[in-house]
């Protein structure tokens, strides 16, 4: 069992940005990114954030409602951003957003958003405790307020 107060990772240190170019292999019959592909990118980025926070292997426990606001087209840069916004004893809640980025204009538009819950697991794949989350910076508080905190 870990001392949850001895190490408090900062929320801002859990931020992860991944970028993918939407290619023909990623699209559906409408020529836009397949929803399952977008969710995969979100889950991949979210688990990296959870593992960066906990220092443990993590598994996906749940996803909240996924809001697809607009499509991603072939050639778009899909920027996937994730950060930890709250934790339980073994669970880690990660807010994940996807933006379409016009690389020539450096403009981004939110396309997809959800909250994922991961569970930290030990070498025997059993849930293991995670540290508390430090949200003491102004940036951390702002990010936390943007997440869908219950």
Is the pTM here over 0.85, yes or no?
yes
Q: What is the pLDDT of residues 8-27, one digit of tens each?
A: 888 889 999 999 999 999 99
CB atoms within 10 A of CB 129: 16
**What SS3 class is residue 141?**
helix
| pLDDT tens, position by position, 101-146 | 988 888 899 999 999 999 999 999 999 999 999 887 787 778 888 8
The count of domains in the chain is 1
Its domain, for residue 78, covers 11-146
Q: What CATH number did the domain enclosing 96 receive? A: 3.10.129.10
Q: Per-residue pLDDT tens for 53-77?
A: 999 999 999 999 999 999 999 999 9
Task: Classify residue 3: in a domain, yes or no.
Answer: no
């Amino acid at each position: 069992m870990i001392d949850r107060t001895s190490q408090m990772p900062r929320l801002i240190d859990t931020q992860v940005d991944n970028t993918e170019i939407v290619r023909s292999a990623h699209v559906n019959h409408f020529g836009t990114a397949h929803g399952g592909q977008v969710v995969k990118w979100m889950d991949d980025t979210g688990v990296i954030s959870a593992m960066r926070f906990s220092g443990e292997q993590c598994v996906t426990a749940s996803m909240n409602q996924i809001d697809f606001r607009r499509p991603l087209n072939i050639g778009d840069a899909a920027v996937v951003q994730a950060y930890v916004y709250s934790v339980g004893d073994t669970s880690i809640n990660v807010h994940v957003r996807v933006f379409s980025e016009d690389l020539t204009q450096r403009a981004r538009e939110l396309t997809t958003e959800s909250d994922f819950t991961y569970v930290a697991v030990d070498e025997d794949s059993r849930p293991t405790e995670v540290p508390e989350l430090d949200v003491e910076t102004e940036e951390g508080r702002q990010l936390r307020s943007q997440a869908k905190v219950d």
